[in-house]
Structure 1
Amino acid sequence: MCSGWGDSHYLTFDGTYYTYQGKCTYVLVEEIVKTIDNFGIYLDNYDCGDKTSITCPRKLTIRHDSQEITISSQTDTPLSLEAHVNGNLILLPYTKYGVNIYKSGEYFVVEIPQLKTNVTYNGLTFNIKMPYGRFSKNTLGQCGTCTNNQADDLMMANGTITTNWVAMADSFMVNDPIKPQCQSIPPVPPTIPPTCKSSLCDLIMGPVFQKCHGFQPPEPFYQACLSDSCNVANSQKECTSLQHYASICGDSGVCIQWRSQAPACPITCPSNRVYNACGPALPITCQTTPRDVTEMKNNKRVVEGCFCAKGSMPFSMAIDVCVSDCGCVGPDNVPHKFGESFEHNCETCKCLEGGRGITCQKQQCHRVRKEECSREGFYQVTQVSTTNKCCEETVCRCDPSRCSNTFPKCGPGFELKVGIKEGHCCPTYVCEPKHVCISGNAEYLPGSHVYSEKCESCVCEQHGRNFTIACNPIVCNIKCPAGFKVQKNSPSDCCGSCQQTNCLVNYDGSYRLMNPGDVLPSMNDNCTMYKCSLNKDQFVTTVSQISCPLLNEEDCEPGSIQLSPNGCCKTCIQKDGSCNVQTFDDYLTYQGCTSLTRVRMSRCEGSCGTSSMYSAEAQAMSHTCSCCQEVQTTMNEVKLQCPDGTLIDHTFIDVQECKCTGTKCPDRNV
C-alpha cells in the first residue's frame, strides 16, 4: 500500500516515510517493464499555504487501457469532489471497461478488479493498494519500487539510486501544459526535521490508536503530524494525519474512535445523516442482492463518514437518498412507496414494483386559455399557465408604449382627468367639470365676486353639484356735499362719483355756491370780493380787497360825496381845477374772464365848472356844463383767465391826461 496525506507526506509501498513539497504533477506509480497497456497513477499538487510554502493534492489521475479517470476537488470549503472519465463528468457508481468507481464514506474509490488494484481519494489523502504478486519489482514513481526492500525506494526515474528523497521525488515530475513553470527540475531544498510538540499528534502514539499499532506502525503518521504542526499554523492539517491513519486502520477492520478525543477536528453531517466513525465500507442498499449482503457482512472494512440513520438505508449506490421503505426514488431524489403516484416535469408518474420501477406519462393540456387582445396597448404572450404549470396559455400583456396617448384640450371650467379603467391598458382622458363658475374665459370659485360689465353685483354660488352666477343690480348710495354732484366717468361707471361743480364760499356764516367767473361782494364789506375760477379742473376761490383812491373831501363840491356803484369807495364832484388823472388797482373783468392779479388803471376825476343861470332873453334857465374828461389815452394789454381755465389777451384804455371840457347839459325833464 502507498499513501499520501496532509502537508505532502508520503508512505511508499515498502513502508518508507518521507515529506516532499512539490507544486507540479508527478508519477505515483508506473510499470518499469510495460506489461499492462496504458497504466499509471499520477498526482497533481498545488500551493495551498497562505504564507508558508506547503502543497496539497488537487487531482488524482488513473490511466487504464482506454480510460483516463480523474478525481478532482471543485471547492475547498466545503470540500467537494467530482469524477471524470476521458474528460467527461460521470455519476457514481460507474462501471465500464473493467473499472468500478463508487463512493465509500468520504472517499471516492476506483477499483480495477483485473489488476486487483484499489485506489481511494478524498481530496486530502490517497491510498493505493496493489497486489505484490502482480507488481513486485516492477514499479517506479514516488510510491517506490514494491520490492519489500526499503534500500531501493530512492530509485530515480532514470533508474539510479540517490540518497535524497527530494531529488527522487523531483525526478518523477510530469510535463503539464497548464503548468509551464514545471518544465525543469527545481533545486533540492534542505530537509528540516520537525522539532514541535503537539498534544493532538500524541493521540497517534497513545491508547486511542494503540490497537492499530500492530497492523500499521504509527511512526510515519506521528512524524507527519508533527511536521504539519511545525510548518502550518492550522490544526486541520494535523487532523489529516490522524484521519488518514484511522482510515488505514479501518481498512484492516480496526475501528478507531478518535474524534471524541480531538475537539479541534470536528466533522459535520447533513441534517438527514448521522456521523459514524466506523460505518460499513459498502452499506446495504435497497438494490443490494442477498448474495451481496452475505459478502458485505463478511467484509470487515470500516470507514468514517455520514450515514443513513437507524431504520433507513441508501436507496442505491447511484441514488444516495435515505429511505425507510424500498419503493422508488423519483428524478427529484424524493422517495416514493410502491403504488404511489407523483408529478415531475409535467409528467404523471407512478412507483411500481419490478421493471424500471417508475413509469411516467406526459400530462395532457385541456382547455388552454387563449385571450384575444383587441383593446389598445395589449399584445399576446405565451407563458406557463397560472392554473397548470405544465401547460402553456396565451394571455394579453399591457405595453404602455403601444398606447396612442391622444387627449382632448379642455376648455374653461374643465380639467383633464387621466385614469385606467379595469381591464384596460391605455389611459382614458376625460374633461371633467371643475367646481367653479364660468364667465367668459375666466373661472371663479364659489363665494368669489364675478366681474360684470353691467351695473350688477355678481357672485359665484354653489347649489349641490350646480355652480351658477347670481347677479343683483348695484344699489348706489352716494351723497355728495355742497358744491359737488354725482357724475359718471364712463358708461361702465354704474354709480359715478362726487365731482366738484361749484366753488363753495363761507358767506358770513353760511355757505353759498359760485359758478366759475362769478364775483360776489362781502355782505359786511363791499371792498371784499369773492371770486370763483376753474384752473386745470380745480375749482379755486379767491378773496380780493378793492383799494380805493384817496379822496380829499375838501376838494369836493358840497353835497357831492357818494359811494361808488359797488358800494366800496367814496366819490364826489371835485371843485374847479381839481380835474386830473386818478389811478387805482382792481381786477379787470371782461366777458366772464378776470385778470390774474390787480391791474393798475387810471381815470379822470375832479370837478369842472357847471352853472345854471336865468336868461332874460330866453326867459328860461341857461345851463352851462363841463365834464372832467380824458384828452390823451394809451392802450395797455393784460392777461385774463376764463372760467374754463384758459388765458386770453385783453386790451384796455389807460388815461394819460384829463381836462374840463364843455358838454351838453342833460334835460332835466328826462
Structure 2
Amino acid sequence: FITYKPNQRNTSSRDQNRNFHLVINIFFSFYNPYFLKFPSNISANNSSSIHFQSYRNRSLIYNETDGDGWCFMAYCSAECENGETWNSGNCTIKTCVNGSTTSNPVPCAPAKPPVCENGRPPVKVYDESGCCFQYQCQCECYGWGDPHIVTFDGTYYSFQENCTYVLVKEINPVYNFKVLIDNVYCGAQDGVSCPHSLIVQYNSYEVIFVQSIHDTTTVLAYVNKKQIFPAYSNADFLITNSGIQMTMVIPKINAQVMFSGMLFKINLPYSQFHGNTEGHCGTCDNTQKNDCRLPDGRIHPSCSEMAKYWSTPDKNKPYCGPSPTVKPGPLTTKSPATTTTVMCKPKICDFLVFEECHKTFSAEAFHKACKFDVCNMPNPDIACHSFEMYAIVCASSGMCIDWRKATNGTCGCTGPDGMPRMPGETWMSDCLKCECEPDSMSVQCYSPECPPPDNVTCAEEGQVMVTETVNCCPQTKCGTPAQNCNVHKNSTYLSRDGCRSISPVEITSCEGSCVTSSMYSAKASAMMHSCSCCQEMSTSMREMKMKCPNGITVTHSYVYIETCGCYVKECENKN
C-alpha cells in the first residue's frame, strides 16, 4: 500500500495512521495467496459504494485521490506483514507468520453453568461476535388459576385479591417496561380471585389482553385502546395468537409476555434485567431471599402478604383505593386463623402423567395449587389450569406430554350428551355433528345439510300436512291431526344471569295438533264440544355447565320433555 499527499509528505502521524490502518484492515480481511477479492470502488472517505471483485497477485487494485489531495494506491500481494492478525469469519483468527498464515479459534473465556434457584436449566447467551457464550439463569415468572404465582427466582405463593397489581416493573427505569394484572373474584366460597386481563406498558404503548367469554373463551388484544387482530406487528413489538393464547414479543429488550385468560408467563433476559425488577414476580437475581420485595425496598417475610402492597389505581375499580401504606418497623407475618380443616386429597392432582418432566422441573408448586383449587372451588375443572401451566413449563424444554386423557374428561370437552370428549374428537349428538375444538377446548356443533322438504298436497278429507324427522332431516307427509303431537328437539346455547352454556343444550317442545270438535246433540238439545291440546306428558330434570364472565363454571338444571300427547280438557262454553 502506498499513501501520500503531493507536496506534503511530512504529515502528522495521526493522519498517516488513520489512512494506513483503513487500508491494512480491509486488505487482510480478504487476504488470499492467489486472488484478492477487494472493493472495486472504495475511496478513502468511505463515500463510494462497495462492489467486490477478484484481483490476481501483483496487480493494481486502485489508484485514487481523495478530496483532501491524498493519493491512495493498492496492489494485490501474496505477502502479509509478520505478526498481523485478523478475523477471517466462522469464529477463526488468522495470524501472519513469516509470510504464511495460521488459523486458530476465537479465544473465549471459560463458561461454567450456574445453579439456578428457580430450578430451570441455565441457557447459553452469546456475545456480539456469536463465537463466545456464557451461561445465564432464566428470568421466567408465571401464574395461573386463582391466582398462583411463581417468581423469577422460583418462589411459589398464592394471592387472592380483586384489584389491579404490578407484576413486573423496573426498580431503576431503563427500558420503560411494566406489566400489570387485573384480578376479579371467581365467586368461590372463600373469595378467591382469577386473572381477568393483563396490561403491558412499554415506551408509549399500552397493550391490554382481556379474557372474553361468549360461545367460547377467547382473548382480545388492544393497543393504545384500539382493538387489533393478531398476527400484528409494528416497529417495536409483535403479537401472535394461537387459539386462546396471546403472545407479545419485544425484540429490542428480548422480552416475551404470554396470556391465555387463566394463565400468564413473562420471560425477561437475565443480562438486561438482572437485579432490576420488582412486583409480584420478585427480583430477578438468582436468589429467593429478596423475592418478597415491597415498594419501599424492604423485604417482607411473606410474598402472599407482600402482594397487596403492589396495587395500582384503576378507574374501573374505585373500591380498591390507593395502595396500602407499609408501616415502619419490623415486618411480621400474620398467623392464619384457626379453623377445622376437612381432609381433601383430590386424586386428579397426583400429576403422575408428568413423570418424565419431574426429573427436570419440580411439580410441587403445581400440586399445591391444584389441591387448593379443587378443595376450594365449586367446579373441579379449575384443576386443569395447574395441569396446563405445568405442561407449558415442561414443553419449554422439549417435553410435550399428552396430559388431558389422564384427567378422565375433566380437562377435555363435554358435549350436549354429557359425555367427556378429547381435543379434536368428532361425534354425532341428536342430529348434530359436534367437535371438541382443540385450540379453545370448546364444543362446536352444527346441523347437517338437508335438502328442502317436498311440497305435499293433502287432498283426502281430514288429513293435514305434517312434518317428521327422518335421518336427521325434516320430511313432510299427510296425516291425521290426532296423530300429530310429538316431541320436537332443538339444540341451542342457553344464557342465565350473564352466564352462558359451555356447549349447545338440547331443548325439547311439544308441537302438533289434536282432535277438537263441536257438534249439535239432539238428545241434549245443545252443542257438544270435545277439546284436547298437545302438551308434555312426562318430563325429567337435566343439568348443564355454564361459563360466567368471571371465568368460573357453574351447574344449572332445566326441564327436559320426554313424551308428548293429546291432553283432553273441558272446553269453554261460549253460551
- Larger RCO (CA under 8 A, 6+ residues apart): 2
Measured against the shorter chain, the TM-score band is 0.3 to 0.5
What TM-score comes out, normalization by structure 1 length?
0.39
Question: What TM-score comes out, normalization by structure 2 length?
Answer: 0.45
